[in-house]
Chains A and B, each alone.
Chain A
Amino acid sequence: QVQLVESGGGVVQPGRSLRLSCVASGFSFSNYAMHWVRQAPGKGLEWVAVISYDGSHKYYADSVEGRFTISRDNSKETLYLQMNSLRHDDTAVYYCARDRQSIAAAGIRMDYWGQGALVTVSS
């Protein structure tokens, strides 16, 4: 069955960096686009970033553009989110999610999600 397992969350000071990982199993990882979505405590969902099946196209929300980098290693079936210059308002549960499509075109839909990784930015 499809599984997505995030790791790498934790407590980090403002201005520091953290890298999240999402290990995929149960499907052909290299055929699907992948997303990161976050949810601040008690708040709604915020789309963060998407990467195409082969890593050639990446797109970001304005709130993380220039600070976060999405990447993937298809040989390891793993998705990453490198988060630099972290701010208090980056505190959230970060979910990785599979897109039913291979590229970030109109009609994306996130059909499988991981359990989430909590990132807390605090001094």
Chain B
Amino acid sequence: DIQMTQTPPSLSASVGDRVTITCRASQSISTFLNWYQQKPGKAPNLLIFAASSLQSGVPSRFSGSGSGTDFTLTISSLQPEDFATYYCQHSYIIPYTFGQGTKLEIK
């Protein structure tokens, strides 16, 4: 199975900050990488697919990049509603494993 490792596990930041979360795959997955946001008690929400494509309705302050094994999710200017947990997931082969999550908290 492909293992997905996210760093950092948690992150404290302030409104207006630029934030980057990293996801590393245990083998090359080309650009088959999705990012999800999850708020407490809610279902995940798709933000980015195919490593860098913005899902419809997602604010443009979210962006994704990377290919092969290393990927990043960037939030250009944090808003209060962005404090949540973020997960990467590869979509290369079954099983479609998720990273362990990055909890973004208010500083």
A109 within 8 A of B: yes
Known: A44-B87, A45-B87, A45-B89. A110 touches B97 (CB 8 A): no
Q: Summarize B's interface: helix, strand, loop or mixed.
A: loop
Smallest Cβ distance from B3 to chain A, in angstroms? 13
Tell whether, in the assembled complex, residue A109 and residue B94 are in contact, meaning their CB atoms are under 8 Å apart: no
Q: How many residues of A contact B (CB 8 A)?
A: 24
Question: Could you say which residues of chain A place their CB within 8 Å of the CB of B93?
Answer: 106
Assembly CA distance A93 to B17 (angstroms): 32
Residues of B within 8 A of A113 (CB): 43-45
**B55 on the A face (CB < 8 A):** yes
**A114:B43 contact, CB within 8 angstroms:** yes
- A111 contacts B91, C-beta separation under 8 Å: no
Q: Range of interface residues on chain B?
A: 20 to 34
B6: nearest chain-A partner, CB-CB: A44
Q: Does A27 contact B (CB under 8 A)?
A: no
Q: How far is the CB of A99 from chain B (nearest CB, A)?
A: 9
B78 within 8 A of A: no
| Residue from B1, B43, B96, B100 in contact with A108 in the complex, judged by beta carbons closer than 8 Å | B96
Q: A108 and B87: CB pair below 8 A? A: no
Query: Which residue, A44, A45, A47, A62, has most C-beta atoms of chain B within 10 A?
Result: A45
A45 pairs with B95, CB closer than 8 A:
no
The one of B43, B91, B97 that contacts A109, using a Cβ cutoff of 8 Å = B91
B46 contact set on A, CB distance < 8 A: 109-111
List residues of B whose CB falls within 8 A of some A CB: 1, 32, 34, 36, 38, 42-46, 49-50, 55, 87, 89, 91-101
